[in-house]
């Protein structure tokens, strides 16, 4: 076993070792390679979404159905990423497809409300305890940006505090603690997830200046990290002692319970950020929360905060999201969680049998696998070929699609057969990588 120790604590697999896995991948995806070469002429690196990139190039997919995807060469994959956790019922879910097809006969969006928009807002209000009032956006990123804007407006304070490694979309202030960045002077401060003292120290350094604490209840980007017992609840109390609002980003973890992570962890945020599958597989987000905060957007009141967006609450997103959320009940959530437990157990057992250092973590239907000898996160250097990247390719060779960086998420469409197929492929992929670790 050859190891390149050039960077302390990391393993750089040899060219020969990489070649076996990458060579098989290239041989099986020749049409994808040609299409990605073509794409690079019109998009930087052939890419328009860094999350989906992995070296040497991503697979180009043709269609999806439930838990399965087919690439341009008509090879079938089990989908363990679900478009970055945004397809809670898998691809092409019939009730969502039917709702969209029916709505399309009437249009896609117009200036003004619709019955469907009102009905969906009412559903969110009834389903999610923190959602006293609802404001639609076009993505979770937009909802997070709006939440920070609202908190600053309500409190008259400039700063936010968030966890290092927590992802809240593409708003620069919420990218503190990501991609090698630390604090953003005058805008955002970073503390350590699961370290209450770290948050308290950050808030004391700028007493009276913190508008909000922004919480991702489970870290997912790069590494899946569950919150320590009562950490989130104590963090809420800490924020309120300092007069700051609590913003809960539930874009990813709404899947934990019918009422989302607020219900699952017993939280009472002032503002709740929603995205991902809130649009039923279409681009959509929402900011919800306490009425006294959300009323700053009420245009019937003087000096209301302006918030535009041509497609906010559009017809297609509302009917698709409403159809998806109505079908996400406690039984389906429990089934996803049980299937995910099977996957976590199988990965941990295989790693032990192979004698390789692998950390398997997860909450509910979200799982993370990380190689102890490969501490780099995909987000920090997507171009790097390390053990995580090679495992990703090895999974694709077995017709398993996981998220770059080792993220696995299930949908309600993953039945026992799909999970068994996934486990067999994940085991084989681990065996392929074991000789490199």
Q: Is 289 left (phi over 0), alpha (psi -120 to 50) or beta?
A: left
**pLDDT single digits (tens) 35-69:** 999 999 999 999 999 888 999 999 999 999 999 99
CB burial of 247-265 (b: ≥16 within 10 Å; e: otherwise) equals bbbbbbbbbbbbbbbbbbb
What distance in Å separates the CA atoms of residue 434 and residue 391, rounded to the nearest whole number?
9
Are residues 310 and 361 both part of a single domain? no
Q: To which residue do tokens 């918030």 refer?
A: 307
Are residues 414 and 362 both part of a single domain? yes
Maximal C-alpha separation, the chain: 70
Q: What is the pLDDT, as a whole number, of residue 8?
A: 34
Tokens of 134: 């609802």
First to last CA, the chain: 8
Q: Which residues form the domain of 244?
A: 94-326
Are residues 302 and 226 both part of a single domain? yes
Whether a cis peptide bond, with omega within 30° of 0, leads into 56 is yes
Are residues 288 and 422 both part of a single domain? no
Give the model's confidence band at 14: pLDDT under 50 very low, under 70 low, under 90 confident, else very high: low
* 5 lies in some domain: no
Are residues 55 and 203 both part of a single domain? no
Tokens of 326: 């109505």
Residues making up the chain, counted from first to last: 437
**Count of Cβ atoms closer than 10 Å to residue 176 Cβ:** 23
Contacts of 118 (CB under 8 A, 6+ apart): none
Are residues 362 and 380 both part of a single domain? yes
Decide if pLDDT at 293 tops 70: yes
Residue 342 Cα distances to 69, 360, 398, 423, angstroms: 21, 12, 18, 8
* 6 lies in some domain: no
Are residues 254 and 165 both part of a single domain? yes
* 10 lies in some domain: no
Are residues 338 and 200 both part of a single domain? no
Are residues 305 and 336 both part of a single domain? no
Are residues 343 and 213 both part of a single domain? no
What distance in Å separates the CA atoms of residue 141 and residue 328, rounded to the nearest whole number?
23
Decide if pLDDT at 2 tops 90: no
Number of domains in the chain: 2
Are residues 177 and 225 both part of a single domain? yes
pTM of the model: 0.94
**pLDDT single digits (tens) 249-261:** 999 999 999 999 9
What distance in Å separates the CA atoms of residue 141 and residue 285, rounded to the nearest whole number?
8
Q: What is the pLDDT, as a whole number, of residue 437?
A: 59
214 φ, ψ (degrees, to nearest 5): -105, 125
Decide if pLDDT at 225 tops 50: yes
Are residues 284 and 349 both part of a single domain? no
Give the model's confidence band at 4: pLDDT under 50 very low, under 70 low, under 90 confident, else very high: very low
Strand pairing class (68-71; 61-65): antiparallel
Contacts of 362 (CB under 8 A, 6+ apart): 224, 226, 340, 344, 368, 408
* 7 lies in some domain: no
Closest-CA residue to 166 (of 216, 122, 213):
216
Report the percentage of the chain scoring pLDDT > 90.
87
On whether the CB atoms of residues 68 and 77 are closer than 8 A, the answer is yes
Mean pLDDT for the chain overall: 93
> Which residues on adjacent β-strands are paired with residue 371?
358
Q: 257, 291, 326: which is the final residue of a domain?
A: 326
On whether the CB atoms of residues 414 and 38 are closer than 8 A, the answer is no
CB burial of 279-304 (b: ≥16 within 10 Å; e: otherwise) equals bbbbbbbbbbbbeebbebbeeeeeee
Tokens of 31: 């049409």
Q: What is the pLDDT, as a whole number, of residue 17?
A: 62
> Which residues on adjacent β-strands are paired with residue 368?
361, 407
DSSP summary character for residue 375: -
Q: 292, 326, 360: which is the final residue of a domain?
A: 326
CATH number (domain holding residue 145):
3.40.640.10
Q: What is the pLDDT, as a whole number, of residue 19?
A: 85
Q: To which residue do tokens 């390789």 refer?
A: 356
Q: 326, 361, 380: which is the final residue of a domain?
A: 326
**pLDDT single digits (tens) 153-198:** 999 999 999 999 999 999 999 999 998 889 999 999 999 999 999 9
In this predicted model, which residue has the larger pLDDT, 146 or 18?
146
């Amino acid at each position: 076993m050859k190891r390149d120790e050039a960077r302390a604590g990391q393993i750089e697999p040899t060219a020969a070792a990489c070649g076996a896995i990458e060579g098989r991948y290239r041989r099986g995806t020749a049409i994808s390679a040609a299409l990605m070469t073509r794409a690079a002429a019109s998009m930087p690196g052939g890419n328009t979404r860094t999350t989906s990139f992995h070296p040497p190039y991503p697979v180009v997919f043709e269609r999806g159905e439930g838990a399965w995807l087919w690439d341009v060469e008509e090879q079938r994959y089990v989908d363990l990423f679900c478009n970055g956790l945004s397809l809670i019922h898998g691809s092409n879910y019939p009730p969502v497809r039917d709702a969209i097809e029916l709505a399309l006969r009437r249009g896609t969006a117009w200036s003004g409300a619709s019955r469907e928009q009102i009905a969906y807002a009412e559903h969110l209000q009834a389903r999610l305890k923190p959602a006293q009032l609802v404001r639609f956006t076009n993505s979770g990123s937009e909802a997070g940006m709006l939440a920070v804007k609202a908190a600053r407006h309500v409190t008259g304070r400039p700063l936010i505090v968030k966890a290092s490694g927590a992802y809240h979309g593409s708003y620069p202030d919420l990218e503190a603690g990501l991609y090698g960045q630390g604090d953003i002077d005058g805008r955002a401060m970073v503390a350590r997830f699961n370290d209450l003292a770290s948050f308290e120290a950050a808030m004391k350094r700028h007493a009276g200046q913190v508008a909000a604490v922004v919480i991702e209840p489970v870290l997912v980007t790069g590494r899946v990290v569950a919150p320590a017992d009562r950490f989130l609840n104590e963090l809420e109390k800490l924020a309120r002692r300092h007069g700051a609002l609590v913003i809960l980003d539930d874009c990813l973890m709404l899947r934990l319970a019918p009422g989302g992570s607020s219900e699952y962890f017993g939280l009472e945020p002032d503002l709740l950020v929603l995205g991902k599958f809130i649009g039923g597989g279409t681009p959509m987000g929402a900011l919800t929360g306490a009425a006294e905060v959300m009323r700053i957007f009420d245009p019937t009141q003087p000096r209301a905060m302006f918030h535009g967006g041509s497609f906010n609450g559009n017809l297609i997103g509302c009917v698709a999201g409403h159809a998806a959320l109505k079908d996400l009940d406690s039984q389906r959530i429990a089934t996803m969680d049980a299937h995910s437990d099977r996957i976590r157990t199988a990965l941990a057992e295989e790693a032990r049998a192979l004698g390789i250092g692998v950390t398997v973590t997860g909450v509910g239907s979200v799982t993370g696998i990380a190689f102890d000898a490969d501490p780099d996160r995909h987000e920090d250097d997507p171009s790097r070929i390390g053990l995580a990247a090679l495992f990703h390719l090895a999974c694709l060779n077995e017709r398993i699609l996981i998220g770059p960086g080792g993220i696995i998420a299930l949908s309600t469409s993953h039945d026992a057969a799909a999970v068994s197929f996934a486990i067999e492929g994940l085991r084989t992929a681990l065996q392929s990588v074991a000789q490199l670790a």
